[in-house]
Amino acid sequence: MPVVNLEQYKAMLEAASKGHYAYPAVNVSSMETASAALMAFANAKSDGIIQVSVGGGEHASGNAVKNSALGAIAIADYVRFIADQYNVFVALHTDHCKAEKLESFVLPLIEETERRRACGRPNVFNSHMFDGSVLPLKENLKIAKGLLARCAKSEIILEVEAGVVGGEEDGVNNSDVPNSKLYTTPGDMVEVYRELSAVEGATYMVAATFGNVHGVYKPGNVKLNPKILRDGQKELKSVYGEDTKFYLVFHGGSGSEKEDIAETLDYGVVKMNIDTDTQYAFTRPVADHMFKNYDGVLKIESEVGNKKVYDPRSYLRAGEAGMAQRMIEACNDLQSAGKTLLR
């Protein structure tokens, strides 16, 4: 059963934490991109996380429907059916959901899981992200705490964010956020622990920010300071004891320097989100196909074109392969390759 249950998911996170590696968490919006992720994890012998954003779910539901929750359920169900053909563990997650989108995205997904569990069926998603980062921390944590309590009842892990990831991606635009908010303080991290650890039986992940920005930029444009994560974990231990730690999440991972990625693994990052890089990796071979087969994909000057090259399957397969190759690279960068827990 490659799509994990709660205990398997927790084992994944703990193994990564102790082994100083992290799982690529790739955003998908279609069967092709989901299949690319599964193929990559299997080829790299790495467990991994497949996630759907609000925009990704809306896309998957089709132009006539545009329902982010329905699209996310469709992708999750597809992954659950197909993942059984692969020999790695996969967790299903939803990405950035701001407070104003909870009613239309995350809450319907939790409700669907509650309905399925009542019938003895597995969860739709294994974890959800609540992004309350633009809210005052007190308000952010008040909402997160209520969500976490509800998630815990259905064996769902919650991801929260303290500090703001800059840039713009998939409808989340933080381009105008003051620079100071791009860096989570040790005090913020202690406050997150104080509030959320009070929820009995709950498991959560924390996206703490250290200058990370969504999207890809030229070298030198993004100034990361991974030691913020180290200092936050250190402060947590000084207040709550040596056995205390966070499962940390690295947002805005696309385009990051490999040295910065490697450093975060030493400070407790167990999950790194990847979207922009894999979007390009999918589209690049599709563009190559179009350029090379221009006179075949178009009916030019009364010609009929070439069905073999304008059949969407021909170029979508190429995109799937390109994205999978980039995901294997991510598994190697995050040192999860060869470490699947599925035996």
pLDDT single digits (tens) 265-300: 999 999 999 999 999 999 999 999 999 999 999 988
The residues with which 173 forms a beta bridge, in sequence order, are: 168
Distances (CA, A) of 5 to 80, 102, 157: 12, 23, 11
Residue 92, pLDDT score: 99
Q: Which helix (H) or strand (E) holds 49?
A: strand 48-52
**CATH number attached to the domain at 6-285+321-333:** 3.20.20.70
Q: Give the span between the Cα atoms of 110 and 97, in whole angstroms.
A: 13
Residue 137, pLDDT score: 93
Nearest alpha-carbon partner for 278 in 218, 325, 211: 325
Residue 300, pLDDT score: 84
Residue 258, pLDDT score: 87
Residue 22, pLDDT score: 98
What is the residue whose two structure tokens read 């060869």?
338
Q: Give the span between the Cα atoms of 258 and 254, in whole angstroms.
A: 10
Per-residue exposure over 253-286, b if at least 16 CB sit within 10 Å of its own CB, e if not: bbbbeeebbebbbebbbbbbbbbbbbbbbbeebb
- Overall residue count recorded for the chain in this entry: 343
Residue 44, pLDDT score: 98
**Tokens (6 digits) for 209:** 């920010």
Residue 212, pLDDT score: 72
**Tokens (6 digits) for 31:** 């069967």
Catalytically annotated residues: 95
Residue 173, pLDDT score: 43
Residue 257, pLDDT score: 82
Answering whether pTM is above 0.85, one says: yes
Residue 164, pLDDT score: 62
Residue 167, pLDDT score: 42
Residue 109, pLDDT score: 98
Q: Give the span between the Cα atoms of 235 and 225, in whole angstroms.
A: 16
Say which residues have a Cβ less than 8 Å from residue 14's Cβ, sequence separation at least 6: none
Give the SS3 label for residue 163: coil
Rounded-to-5 percentages of helix, strand, coil across the chain: 50, 15, 35
Distances (CA, A) of 324 to 39, 44, 232, 312: 6, 10, 34, 18
- The domains of the chain are located at 6-285+321-333
Residue 183, pLDDT score: 84
Backbone angles phi, psi at 81, to 5 degrees: -70, -45
Nearest alpha-carbon partner for 230 in 253, 264, 202: 264
Residues (pLDDT < 70) of the chain are 1, 164-182, 213-222, 253-255
Distances (CA, A) of 195 to 131, 191, 206, 237: 16, 6, 13, 16
